[in-house]
Structure 1
Amino acid sequence: MAKLILTHEVTGLGTPGDVVEVKDGYARNYLLPRGLATTWSKGAEKQIAGIRKARKAREIATLEDAAAVRTQLQTQVFTIAAKAGASGRLFGAVTTSDIAEAVTAGGGPAIDKRKVEIGQPIKAIGDYQVQVRLHADVSAQIDVRVVPEA
């Protein structure tokens, strides 16, 4: 078992600043290469306070605020213009940062790209539903429309 400090939110494992114990292979092959965690040490324990302070500044404070943001997000359709071929297939894919920018450009609140979860890669023109984690207990399903770039 490897003892790690999470630097990013990992669904089903924890939030930034949490100290977790995971199997060695999961740590070595997934968490550490992707930069989602760092190895635990006495010195690194001091960094946890800084990580938690930064997380508090970014996240939505209360459950009521998160519910209000969810209502606002779910009533809109956010449009993303992407380069596409004649068949409607995209040159590349729509990323979480593209979705976060589209929400901000569409008049929604600024959301962190790390809170956006895409179920299947978006690689074609069309309408999609994307999950956004707003709070530990609140998440929103937002509608994203991908259109060809003019």
Structure 2
Amino acid sequence: MDVILKQDVKNLGEKDDIVKVKPGYGRNFLIPQGVAILATESARKVLAENLKQAQFKQDKIRKDADALATQLENVKLTIGAKAGESGKIFGAINTIQVADALKKQGFDVDRRRITFDQEPKMVGEYTANLNLHKEVKVKVPFEVVAE
């Protein structure tokens, strides 16, 4: 019996895979639980069309991420923070401040896609890692200056 998985199933397959299972397992567990549907000819055609549309959408997102990455390669940010005399800033620079600095320069990057190699807690030079896509990553240098 062939079924199309609607979600990931451990030791069986991932979402949108067509897998062969024993008839009892498919009829009594997978289909009633809503984990799979029967792989009829029409269901296979619908799956193929959905995968084609999803691939087109992913390609567009990837192209947009590549274009943004090429624009971000030459960007250098300056972020101001209150600091003591020794150069230690009060608190730390977070991803929201980096996202706001990027937005001021005209780049809209979600703060959840920003990470740091080293937590910026002193005045100086740091690098922010932007994960624009699962395959597109950019390093943006920024400088923390005392206000």
TM-score class, shorter: 0.5 to 0.7
Matches within 5 A, 1:118-129: 118-129=116-127
TM-score normalised per structure 1 = 0.57
The letter for the 1-side match of 2:122 is: A
**In 2: Cα distance, 1:115 partner to 1:75 partner:** 19
Q: CA RMSD in A?
A: 2.4
Show structure 1 runs of 5+ residues with no match: 1-17, 22-41, 43-58
- In structure 2, what is the equivalent of residue 14 of structure 1? none
The alpha-carbon distance between structure 1 residues 62 and 70, as it changes in their structure 2 partners (threshold 3 A), is same
Per-residue CA deviation, residues 76-95 of structure 1 (Å, 9 max, x unaligned), is: 10110000011111000000
Per-residue CA deviation, residues 47-97 of structure 1 (Å, 9 max, x unaligned), is: xxxxxxxxxxxx994222211111111201011000001111100000011
- In structure 2, what is the equivalent of residue 51 of structure 1? none
Greater radius of gyration (CA): 2
The letter for the 2-side match of 1:81 is: G
**In 2: Cα distance, 1:148 partner to 1:61 partner:** 41
User: Percent identity among equivalent residues?
Assistant: 36
The alpha-carbon distance between structure 1 residues 71 and 20, as it changes in their structure 2 partners (threshold 3 A), is farther
Per-residue CA deviation, residues 111-148 of structure 1 (Å, 9 max, x unaligned), is: 11100011221101111111000011101000111111
Matches within 5 A, 1:61-72: 61-72=60-71
Q: CA deviation at 1:20?
A: 9.3
- 1:146 matched to 2:144: yes
The alpha-carbon distance between structure 1 residues 66 and 84, as it changes in their structure 2 partners (threshold 3 A), is same
CA contact (8 A) 1:132 1:140 kept: yes
3-state SS in 1 of match to 2:128: strand
- In structure 2, what is the equivalent of residue 102 of structure 1? 101
Structure with more strand by fraction: 1
Show structure 2 runs of 5+ residues with no match: 1-6, 11-32, 34-57
TM-score normalised per structure 2 = 0.58
- In structure 1, what is the equivalent of residue 114 of structure 2? 116
Q: Report the number of matched residues.
A: 95
**In 2: Cα distance, 1:121 partner to 1:60 partner:** 33
